[in-house]
Chains A and B, each alone.
Chain A
């Protein structure tokens, strides 16, 4: 009890006053006696009745004790110090407010259970404890040390968000906060979470200092059924692929709403994604909303959002020698308008037959336009036009227009037919581009003679490459691959490349990317408006693993082709944005120094036009507006796919993972909430009160009888 807390003080006063009042009330006729006559008696004067005097002090003390015990027993929720398990500690509460906490579990959300458990744990703390609430994912507010009562108030007002639980980051924040506090009280990190597998993904780099106890509270069941559309949008920009994948959607339909026009997509059994191109009328903002008709644990992940600025389709020639590739008919009947816009004979997606196909051209084609038989819709702006010996003459004679292919991609093949150099030179002269790939079939002498001047390189005899890492460090400032994220650049530099050509650059040619020993890897030659690029490795698996690694090959090829056709890939770059996750937005440098309003917050734009740490709290489409009212674009935020899986680790696994984070190995300081000893004090209070309540009438009657 404290005088600072008015409520508890009032409760204490009431606990003292109530037994006195009862005692005085009952004390009026507490003793009775029958006498022969009242003739000799004189009634007690009125003055002695008020104020009443306390008589039978032992009985008063007994009644006071009973009420006090009852008050203590039932007041355990209000008086944390009463409980046996109460502690005075520095407590960091890591609260999982990720999207998976919104899952419905038997009519209630997992978050509701987590909140109750959190409040229960907070209620056990001594009033003098200090509490820090660390949300995972962290919002815009930075955690500070507050009182348990304030923490309870905040947790009551807290609700689950839509982000991804980053337990490792939250634990690091918790240990940082605890390091600020002295060592006079125990330090405990309470983790209240559903412990999704995704939450523990980045936990290995975390260290729990000695003396810090981890207390785990699991909310929700081991597994819930969720069949969401948790969409991963491989958006325009680096890859220029409109790919919408979903989790655990066996079959059914998706309702696609594109700028208000709705249609239904049928999902076949086993289908994991649909691909819809971002092509359209250039410059138009297109908003896509995809909804599943599923009813499952999480409703928020049944809707996916995408917004992009449409780009014109980019047809390109892909050299395929005659007789090595068969052309498959179109399988898509749901997109007649798009199908009719293509040239059936030339723009149809080509599918290699299993017994005869060129691996290099196949990798190139699938990287730039990964259409399949299942969803024959174009998934990117790149529309391959197969160039064979049969239609090579037609291509040369075709007039160069805005709709005709302006890009030629030549895998390193033996057959570099006679008219090909003429076609390449014609394209470059008209502002087009040619991309050459090396390969075992490419004869250096033939290439140097036919394409050396156009490509700006002179090739030597092929040589083995034993460098590790194979490529130089690709920095963020790299003109071609700098827009890739750091991890992708790092992995790309380490990719296995076994063979290469020694290259001599001609006048005007520059190496965009080089091997670790300085040999050019990608060379750019600009001739007027035209451009030529030479990639010093094969597009198949003969000279390395790069082309076989879709995660490294596809983005790099998209960046290369975008550069080749004159697109500014950096300005259009934006990866998938997840709700609740901080992202860095790239704006034109002209907006440097201004403020951006997005997702309910205002963020400064740095000198390079970047806006770091932008958080969009909820899934949906958000408009980006500068503080002066200028509209600079749109961003779609989606429910994190990892939060839709709803797969949790068993308790022993979580415990073992977290115990492995401890600096000292002596004893386990990780415990589950269920291991706590229940407070015995309040039980003893109530038990004793019940016993005394049974005894009190007996004592009272005995003392009242004269």
Chain B
């Protein structure tokens, strides 16, 4: 698995402006190290034979071949997914923090694109909901159509983190569409109203959806680099506050810990999967976490 580490090379990102190319490049590289069997599933479409291995279910043995050749072969079929992946992207203004590739929204878009690409490669149906824009929700329903990836990439490429956290948005359309088992992947920085976040997670869980929360944090949000007195401005509300660097470092750590525990507790309390990611970390951690959750479905 170590070989499949995806490095977020800034020069690469700058050279490849197209989000889809970037996502595909990253996902293909990631898949090279994966075990192929995991991609096989139950389907009516024959793919190949392979010798019988101890442990294989006997129902998969092709007895006609055994009758003609006196050897046991197992029939393989293309996996046909009934899985829907709902990518919920937080586009509030607080996501636009950090420089270059470590910018939270840049990281989130790329993560969403990679997940969408990964889903389609696994014959899953990805959908995209962009929330956190003052109650407005940009909704792209899940689909396995070949042009779905293009729509998603276009949607991701044209979205900016300019919304406000107040009002995560009405996701009734999204939840009503959930008729089969599906996975909702919420990519957010957690700076939302706790009650609204709880309401959103609750709605998703009530639809029998598995929820995976990617909690993005910038390194400077973990360890603020301020020194001396600094005038801080809230990116969403414009509120200003003068803080002292030294005192901030003393007070910030417990407040951050409480905040992270609050978000994680919220997720775990509603049986949602929680994954905290620092934006200067490799992207494959998030993809592995996705696959792990995916396998549980």
Contacts and interface: CB of A to CB of B under 8 A. Distances in A.
B229 A39 contact: no
A56 B243 contact: no
A31 interface: yes
Name which of A27, A45, A55 has the most chain B CB atoms within 10 A of its CB. Answer: A55
B228 A41 contact: no
B1 interface: no
B239 interface: yes
A41 B247 contact: no
Interface stretch (B34-42, B123-131, B252-260, B285-293): B252-260
Interface stretch (B64-72, B80-88, B113-121, B230-238): B230-238
A38 B241 contact: yes
Given A34-B235, A36-B97, A706 B230 contact: yes
Contact of B233 (A28, A34, A44, A48): A34
A36 B191 contact: yes
A41 B248 contact: yes
B231 A31 contact: yes
Interface in B88-132: 94-95, 97, 104
A37 B166 CA distance: 13
Nearest to B252: A40
A454 B234 CA distance: 133
B108 to A, nearest CB: 13
B139 interface: no
B232 A38 contact: yes
B242 A43 contact: yes
B259 A40 contact: yes
Nearest to A44: B244
A32 B233 contact: yes
A566 B104 CA distance: 129
B226 A44 contact: no
A42 interface: yes
Interface in A489-531: none
A40 B253 CA distance: 9
Nearest to A39: B191
B189 interface: yes
A27 B233 CA distance: 17
Given A37-B191, A39-B191, A42-B255, A31 B228 contact: yes
Interface of B is mostly: mixed
Contacts of A37: 94, 191, 234-236
A3 to B, nearest CB: 36
A366 B94 CA distance: 120
Contacts of B9: none
B242 A44 contact: yes
Nearest to A29: B231
A40 B256 contact: yes
Interface string B211-249: 000000010010011101111111111010111100110
A36 B232 contact: no
A35 interface: yes
B251 interface: yes
A38 B256 CA distance: 11
A38 B239 contact: yes
B230 A33 contact: yes
Interface string A2-36: 00000000000000000000000001111111111
Contacts of A36: 94-95, 97, 104, 189, 191, 218, 221, 234-236
B259 A39 contact: yes
B229 A30 contact: yes
Interface in A118-172: none
Contacts of B244: 44, 48
Contacts of B241: 38, 41, 43
Contacts of A32: 230-231, 233
A285 B34 CA distance: 139
A574 to B, nearest CB: 88
B231 A43 contact: no
Interface in B31-64: none
B contact residues, range = 20 to 34
A35 B259 contact: no
Nearest to B258: A40
Interface string A322-337: 0000000000000000
A40 B254 CA distance: 9
A31 B235 contact: no
Name which of B232, B237, B252, B259 has the most chain A CB atoms within 10 A of its CB. Answer: B232
Contacts of A35: 97, 221, 224, 232-235
Nearest to A40: B255
Interface string B183-202: 00000010100000000000
A704 to B, nearest CB: 9
B229 A44 contact: yes
B226 to A, nearest CB: 6
Nearest to B225: A706
Contacts of B235: 34-37
A44 B243 contact: yes
A38 B218 CA distance: 15
A55 B231 CA distance: 14
Given A48-B244, A706-B226, A33 B232 contact: yes
A31 B227 CA distance: 9
Nearest to A56: B228
Interface in A158-196: none
Contacts of A706: 225-226, 230
Nearest to B192: A37
Nearest to A43: B241
Given A30-B229, A31-B228, A38 B234 contact: yes
Contacts of B104: 36
Name which of B94, B218, B244 has the most chain A CB atoms within 10 A of its CB. Answer: B244
B96 to A, nearest CB: 8
A45 B256 CA distance: 19
B251 A42 contact: yes
Nearest to B218: A36
Contacts of A40: 221, 252, 255-256, 259
A41 B95 CA distance: 17
A82 B215 CA distance: 65
A509 to B, nearest CB: 116
Contacts of A55: 228-229
Contacts of B248: 41-42
Nearest to B165: A37
Given A30-B229, A33-B226, A33-B231, A42 B243 contact: yes
Contacts of A39: 191, 259
Contacts of A34: 97, 232-233, 235
Interface in A40-60: 40-45, 48, 55-56
A43 B252 CA distance: 11
Nearest to B98: A36
Given A36-B94, A43-B241, A44-B244, A27 B232 contact: no
23 contacts: A27-B229, A31-B226, A33-B226, A34-B235, A36-B97, A36-B218, A36-B236, A37-B94, A37-B191, A37-B234, A37-B236, A38-B232, A38-B237, A39-B191, A39-B259, A40-B221, A40-B255, A40-B259, A41-B248, A44-B243, A44-B244, A706-B225, A706-B230
Given A31-B228, A34-B235, A41-B232, 9 more contacts: A31-B231, A36-B221, A36-B236, A38-B241, A41-B248, A44-B242, A48-B247, A56-B228, A706-B226
Interface of B: 94-95, 97, 104, 189, 191, 218, 221, 224-226, 228-237, 239, 241-244, 247-248, 251-252, 255-256, 259
Closest 5 CB pairs of A and B: A36-B94, A55-B228, A44-B244, A31-B230, A37-B191
